[in-house]
Amino acid sequence: MLTERSVRIVAAHKLLRRSRRTEAGEFLAEGAPAVTEAIAAEARVPGTVRELYLTEAAGSRHPELARQAFAVGVPVTQVTERAAAALTDAVTPQGLVVRCTLPTATVEDLLATGPRLLAVLVQTSDPGNTGTVVRLADAAGADGVIVAGAAADPINPKAVRASAGSLFHLPVVTAPDAADLIGQLGRAGLSVLASTGHTDLELGVADRDGILDLPTAWLFGSEAHGLPAPILAAADERIRIPIYGRAESLNLAAAAALCLYASAAAHRRAG
């Protein structure tokens, strides 16, 4: 016989599928960093987290999490190891998962905050990369991340995991059309810089020339294909990271780290 609890877990399990996340307006985030940050976010923005699922073992390893969840009014449901495994696509389930409300912020909302530094992923397909860039953007003090075009769902379980909790720190919004987005970024007063291996202007030269001092949206393309030609053409500047050795290219996380940190440093110098 299905108990009410098992019905809820089956419903939560389905959130591993994108279509179900969109329908339900909910997603799952797994592991101690994500759960900790989600509960902290609930304290700032009530309604962020709907339920915490916890195995007995995870509850003993992280006794503070159930306490913090209670303190902000998040229901805590103890689940079996088997149920916890059904709430993740990870090979090694961590035994702690939060069910959260899908973020509803839009590009317009983000631009209305007057951002000084944004990371924009254009048609990147690897959710792990998306999550990694969210974490990097957070570390570099960026004001948000935009996932544009037919890109990976930023709320995919792998992306949530790779973001290591940063998904709950800064707005991560989607834009259906990358070309339209670039127009919008420009009208919002942002300098649109495209990170690409195929151009002359080096990051260090752009920095010395003051190009990085302006409020900036950095565009990053997929590792396999880079940025689409029309997007490259529409950017204000195309900037490359020099390759000093014989590697053919940098991976996306490395390129994003170098570009976002260069901008962060320039903004701090420019004041």
* Residues of the shown chain interacting with a second copy in the complex, contacts defined by CB under 8 A: 33, 132, 135-142, 164-166, 169-170, 204, 241, 243-251, 253-258, 261, 264-265, 268
- Give the whole-angstrom CA distance, residue 189 versus residue 183: 10
Q: How far is the CB of 261 from a second copy (least distance, A)?
A: 6
The residues, any chain, with a CB within 8 Å of residue 230's CB and separated by 6 or more, are 179
Angle between helices 32-44 and 63-71 (to 10 degrees): 20
User: Which run of H or of E encompasses 54?
Assistant: strand 49-54
Question: Rounded to whole angstroms, what are the CA distances from 180 to 135, 145, 149, 154, 239?
Answer: 26, 16, 10, 19, 21
Q: How far is the CB of 68 from a second copy (least distance, A)?
A: 16
Q: How far is the CB of 170 from a second copy (least distance, A)?
A: 7
Q: Which is nearer to a second copy, 53 or 168 (CB)?
A: 168
Q: Which is nearer to a second copy, 145 or 231 (CB)?
A: 145
Q: Which is nearer to a second copy, 207 or 237 (CB)?
A: 207
Angle at 166 between CA 162 and CA 172, to 5 degrees: 95
Q: Which is nearer to a second copy, 238 or 267 (CB)?
A: 267
Q: How far is the CB of 259 from a second copy (least distance, A)?
A: 10
